[in-house]
Amino acid sequence: MKMYEKGAYLVNGTTIVPMEDKAKLQSLGFTGEQAEKAWQGTISYQILKAHNISNNMENLQIKFDSLTSHDLTYVGIIQTAKASGLDKFPLPYILTNCHNTLCAVGGTINEDDHVFGLSAAKKYGGIYLPPHLGVIHQYMRECWAGCGRMILGSDSHTRYGALGTLAIGEGGGELVKQILSQTYDIAYPEIVGVFLTGKPGHGVGPHDVNIAIITAVFKNNFVKNRIMEFVGPGVTGMSTDFRNGVDVMTTETTCLSSVWQTDEDTKKYLTEHRRGQEYKELRPQTLTYYDRLIEVNLSEIKPMIALPFHPSNGYTIADLKANPKDILHEVEESVQKLISSEVKLDLLSKVENGKIKVDQGIIAGCAGGTFTNLMEAAHILQGASTGKDEFALSVYPSSQPVMMELLRQNAITTLLSAGATIRTAFCGPCFGAGDTPANGGLSVRHTTRNFPNREGSKPGKGQLAAVALMDARSIAATAAAGGVLTGADEIDYEYTCPEYHYDPKPYEERVYNGFNEAKTAEKLIYGPNIKDWPEMPALNKHMLLKVAAFITDDVTTTDELIPSGETASFRSNPMGLAEFTLSRRVPEYVGKAKAINQIAVANRTGKEPQELQAVLQKIKALADFATVKNTEIDLSSVVYATKPGDGSAREQAASCQRVLGGGANIAKEYATKRYRSNLINWGMIPFTLEQVPDFADDAYIFVPNIKTKIQEDEPTIEAYVIGDKVQKISLKVGALTAEEKDIISAGSLINYNRRDK
């Protein structure tokens, strides 16, 4: 891979001209004026311009074509919109049920959410996909994505770029804004060209391409909060189904979104799915400028494995097999720093006679469970056996139409005959709610993530398992070897995937489509676990923060901020879910946050709690604040983390802090734009601190005149660490839109939207 960090021009979709080589542009006949406007030649620009209502391409106000959520997020979103004055859905809102599908935890509460979702679709005019029929992103590919469209989803892997759709995964607050006919406000993002050449080789699948790219760009932030645009002759060397498998994983690069040039195969895919009218050719213009560019020769990519605990921890399978002990030992050491627990990950025990033995294989979800992946996996397993030892293989087709075609093609019979088990369309293995391996187990998965706890173990309770990401082809090769790690390129086979025939009958019989037919007289059906949002205070004149969690890991994922898996059942209950906040990283956080909030509530009523007296005296001893009233200072808890928010779009990573009395985060930087947006939408200030923090757990930080400074765009906000000595520090917030300032001042998006009601 070759990186052009300073930008590059693409001429006729085939020739790369580095930014610094403008003389070459002139030799090709392009003028300086054409070069200046070449940034408007991207596919992304065309789509963003068509959806921007601000008439200002530097500061976008986007209206999306449709929205989508699954059953971990739609209850909270609808409850938030309802509290803000929801009447009916003004655009198609697709409610899918692919996360709490099994209804296996917490009694009735999972199915109660599903019943609520259907009642909301009826009342407000939504589209409802029942459990087991399809995972969210496969259904959106099959039925909603189209060339030149934009879709917003409350799941981080909302990516339909291979179908020419700019799709973005965000926290629920951004969907609420669209439901209330507001806009998605963002500065025009940089566009990163991904120039593909060559063709995937023998045994190489989409996950191999994913891991190679993610490994190259994640750690250096090369595409962070930017749009990846896939172009070049290599695009035609992959089927659209293959491209879908690459596209969905761009989320793990921390990019904002992704989109691909379209061609006849895109048209063929859409036509087969009864939506040929959604096709149009999307290509970069004759001269197109990319802010950055990555050149990828697909022919050079080999079967890959992403070792615990991140998709960017990639190696070729061949390199790992050639040097297993050194590589696995290095992973063990890095994991130990991350887990910060007495429980240890023992990967070296998986090496037997120089071979690596794995305990489990899974092919599932929006990344793994596609037709072409499972067809090729079945071909590799034809006549083979997964064996009678510990190794087991589970397969989750991504939708019922995919399942039906696999049955027609006899692939399901082949997989079953080899010893695999077949499940329904369910995202459980992707977020720790399905196929949890045994303690100490190593699972190889064609799913989206391998973060800590994503496999369902609980290190805090002495349990630790590990997930490595691999492509379906290499997982099948490993299964055929009885669990001995094997790359698909080691298997001698030839295969051409047959044509896919889409049958929408399962959707026609079961999907409720109420768009434009809102039945406003219908009642929402609430289960006992579904609770309203508690009251959240507005921003006060001055802010006093107490550090309730101090995390210095390089990256803190949303899975650590609020765990997935069994906690998912409580996402319809804000206070119930909040009990799990940071439970696997800072177990004492919830107790601390609650204690701080109790003091804050007392202070808000003018009681001047004894716990605050010494701190307030030191604040009033500062010359400029001698006359400050206690009730002008609002105490709240704060989380410090070096780089929080990697991974999921789940807004609960922020809202759980907020309902416990959180007022801010302080970070060196935020891992994703969406986590920062979640903080803002829940009324918390996303402070950054460039210097090494000169405070720790339980420190008090006084931020004077914060309400005024937020509104006035102060570039640097002076604050004071109140300890034995009072020390000044400099915080920053970064650019905020006028609406974001008002949301923070109001105390949350809910408060902002019901101000005048």
- CATH label of the domain that carries residue 231: 3.40.1060.10
Same domain, 159 and 196: no
Predicted pLDDT of residue 83: 85
Closest CA to 572 of 533, 612, 630: 533
Output the six-digit token pair for 202.
Answer: 């023998």
Are 698 and 547 within 8 A, CB to CB? yes
Same domain, 236 and 310: no
- For 145, 249, 309, 422, 701, the CA distances from 449, given in Å and listed in that order, are 23, 9, 8, 21, 36
Domain presence at residue 609: yes
Beta-ladder partners of 425: 132
Quote the CA–CA distance of 376 and 409 in Å, as a whole number: 12
- For 66, 167, 182, the CA distances from 54, given in Å and listed in that order, are 19, 19, 12
Same domain, 162 and 195: no
Output the six-digit token pair for 185.
Answer: 């406000």
Which residues of 566-650 form beta strands (DSSP E)?
633-641, 644-646
Quote the CA–CA distance of 147 and 140 in Å, as a whole number: 13
Domain presence at residue 522: no
Quote the CA–CA distance of 83 and 262 in Å, as a whole number: 41
Are 125 and 88 within 8 A, CB to CB? yes
Q: Give the pLDDT means over successive 10-residue stretches in the chain (757 positions).
A: 95 94 89 93 98 94 97 92 91 95 84 95 98 97 97 95 97 93 95 98 97 95 96 96 97 96 98 97 97 97 96 96 94 79 85 94 96 97 94 96 97 97 91 87 94 79 90 98 96 95 97 96 92 91 96 89 77 89 91 94 82 88 80 91 86 93 96 92 95 92 94 92 92 93 94 74
* Residue 388 CB coordination number (10 Å): 8
Quote the CA–CA distance of 68 and 337 in Å, as a whole number: 37
Closest CA to 27 of 36, 17, 37: 17
Whose structure tokens read 């059953």?
A: 71
Same domain, 159 and 201: no
- The dihedral sign for the CA sequence 730, 731, 737, 740: negative
Considering the entire predicted model, what is its pTM?
0.91
Closest CA to 263 of 238, 228, 295, 285: 238
Same domain, 105 and 216: no
Predicted pLDDT of residue 293: 98
Closest CA to 230 of 154, 288, 284: 284
* Residue 223 CB coordination number (10 Å): 25
Closest CA to 69 of 166, 187, 186, 151: 151
Domain finish residue from 279, 300, 321: 300
Same domain, 27 and 80: no
Output the six-digit token pair for 736.
Answer: 């905020």
Quote the CA–CA distance of 453 and 459 in Å, as a whole number: 8
Output the six-digit token pair for 625.
Answer: 């604040």
Q: Return the SS3 of 517.
A: coil
Predicted pLDDT of residue 304: 98
Same domain, 176 and 193: no
Domain finish residue from 124, 147, 182: 182
- In sequence order, what are the residues at sequence separation of 6 or more whose Cβ sits closer than 8 angstroms to the Cβ of residue 183? 53, 54, 61, 62, 63, 177
Domain presence at residue 20: yes
The CATH number covering residue 596 comes to 3.20.19.10
Q: Return the SS3 of 128.
A: strand
Are 52 and 150 within 8 A, CB to CB? no
Element (H, E) at 394: strand 392-396
What residues make up the domain containing 200?
2-59+189-300
Output the six-digit token pair for 159.
Answer: 């990516």
Domain presence at residue 529: no
Same domain, 241 and 341: no
Quote the CA–CA distance of 171 and 675 in Å, as a whole number: 7
Domain finish residue from 135, 161, 182: 182
Q: How many CA atoms lie within 13 A of 221 on its CB side?
A: 10
Same domain, 170 and 273: no
Output the six-digit token pair for 477.
Answer: 């090769």
Quote the CA–CA distance of 74 and 173 in Å, as a whole number: 11
Quote the CA–CA distance of 429 and 686 in Å, as a whole number: 32
Domain presence at residue 521: no
DSSP symbols for 575-593: HHHHTTTTTTT-TTHHHHH
Q: Residue 738 burial by CB count (10 A; 0-12/13-18/19+): exposed, middle or buried?
A: exposed
Total of domains in the chain: 4
Domain presence at residue 294: yes
Closest CA to 197 of 56, 13, 62, 47: 13
Average pLDDT, the chain: 93
Same domain, 278 and 425: no
Predicted pLDDT of residue 340: 63
Are 22 and 38 within 8 A, CB to CB? no
The CATH number covering residue 310 comes to 3.30.499.10
Same domain, 339 and 480: yes
Same domain, 575 and 711: yes
